[in-house]
Every structure is written in structure tokens, then in C-alpha cells.
Amino acid sequence: MPTMPVVSAATGVSPPAAANVVVEDIYGFLRVLSDGTILRSPEKPVFCPATFTSSHPSVQWKEEVYDKANNLRVRMYKPLSTAGDGEEAGKKLPVLVHFHGGGFFLGSCTWANVHAYCLRLAAEAGAVVLSAEYRLAPEHRLPAAVGDGVGFLRWLHAQSTMDAAAADGWLTEAADFGRVFVTGDSAGGNIAHHLAVRAGPAATKPDLQARPDLDLRPVTVRGYVLLMPFFGAVRGGRSRGWGRRRAAAAAKGTDAAVGCRGQSACCRRG
């Protein structure tokens, strides 16, 4: 039997719906309402001030879309000079793939701090730097971000195998696909870890039977650099660096480490 709506005996009308309230407020940049609505602020965070450098005299950069379906972008950084000196003369440059941090719910390759870091990395490492975006929680819950990391490596693989006329000109000109390194900080380090698991050394050793599910040849990933990687406990566990709230959340097996403060379920898989 269908359930009838509750009617107020005093007025003869249905009671008003409960007020829509903010259940998560993450530094003012992300708010989750009680009805599931997600609000993101268009403002850049205070830790990304305009004082960060936006250019470098020896590096040029541009932006491309690597995943049209999800409108995911990659910022590409290339040293102006790729000639090299001595034994390096005429050689192409190593490729550094970078995934930004942000707890899986904040961040972008367009943020000033990420942009400035990649400019400096390209200049001082003498490498082509590819700073890739990925989908964020809670709109796109994990493992969406890891899947986007896999998708980016597949995009890079496609660039390495397509005709020069169809491939990106910068990569054709300067990228050494045999010297690729994957790096990320915080949540980006977590993504780099998962990519290492899925595209490990067996990808370049056909004699091994235990092959990974992500074969990138002729792209060769020489190493993975995890900068302050963001990992969280599924059951219990404490880190001395955590505050009481985070330690208590981890002890209860909640998903605080997936991106949301406190014990909210907004970032959990469901």
C-alpha cells in the first residue's frame, strides 16, 4: 500500500520541507548541502596568490585537452632550447608527468602554485613537463581520479605511436618517450603510486608472464616520484602528525583520507 504524505491536522497542508543546510564546508572552496548539492567557489585559494611567477624566460607552455569526454586538460611545458650540450647535444628531453595535490577534491593544473612549480621544474630539470588534470570528488568519487591518470598515460602512449602530422608538435620535436617519469604530490602522489602498480617494470619485459594491465610500449616509465603521498587507513591506524579529529576518523574506518573533512560520506564510493 502506498504511503500517504504526512498532513498537519491544524492547517490541513503538508509540513514544510526541512531547511537545506551546509553539511560540509571545506575552507570555503567547497560546500556540500544536505540535499546533495555541491557548490564550488570560483575564487582561487589564498595559498595561490598572484605573486607566484606566471612565466619563465627559458620555458614556454601551452594547454591542450587530452580527454574530450571529460574536458580534462594538460599543461605542457617545454624548455626553449632542446639542443643540449656535449653528449646531450641533439638528444630529446625526458618527460615528467605531474599530478597535482589537493586531497582529491581541490586543485588544478591552472592554479598559480602548480603552474609556477612546473615552470621551474621544466627549466631546472631540462625536461618536458606535462601537468595533467583529473576529475575531483565529491562530484566524481574515487577511483575516478586514478582512472584519469591511467587515461592520461594512454593518451601519452597514443602520442608516441601516431604519425608526426597528427601528434602534438612539441612532443614530436622534444619528447624522449623512452625516458618518462611520473610524479605527483599529496593526492597526486597517490595517483602516481597506483600508476606504478598498473604500469610497472613488467610492461617492458615481454618474457614475464605476470603482465600489468597497462602496456605503454614504446613509452618507458623509468621511475615514479611520490612527493608527500596522500594515503589513508581503511581500518584504524594513526599518524602522529594528525589532529584528534583526523585520528578519530581514521580509527573509525571513515573516508576522511579520501578528501572530505570529518566523517562525511560525500566522497565515499556508493
Query: What average pLDDT does range 42-47 have in this prediction?
Result: 75
Distances (CA, A) of 26 to 15, 20, 47, 103: 32, 17, 14, 11
Instruction: List, for residues 222-264, the tens digit of each pLDDT value.
Output: 999 999 999 875 555 555 554 555 545 444 433 443 444 443 3
Grid cell digits, residue 72? 580534462
How is the chain split into domains, by residue range?
Answer: 49-82+90-227
Segments in 62-209 forming alpha helices (H)? 112-125, 144-161, 169-174, 187-198
Q: How buried is residue 79: exposed, middle or buried, by Cβ count under 10 Å (0-12/13-18/19+)?
A: buried
- Predicted confidence band at 116 (pLDDT cuts at 50, 70, 90)? very high
Q: Around 62, how many Cα atoms within 13 Å sit in the side-chain half-sphere?
A: 10
254 alpha carbon, distance to own chain's centre? 22
Query: What average pLDDT does range 122-144 have in this prediction?
Result: 96
- Predicted confidence band at 130 (pLDDT cuts at 50, 70, 90)? very high
Instruction: List, for residues 61-96, the tens digit of each pLDDT value.
Output: 999 999 999 999 999 999 997 655 555 656 899 999
Check if the beta carbon of residue 238 is closer than 8 Å to that of residue 224: no
Write down the pLDDT at residue 198: 86
For domain 49-82+90-227, give the CATH number: 3.40.50.1820
Instruction: List, for residues 174-198, the tens digit of each pLDDT value.
Output: 999 999 999 999 999 999 999 998 8
First to last CA, the chain: 29
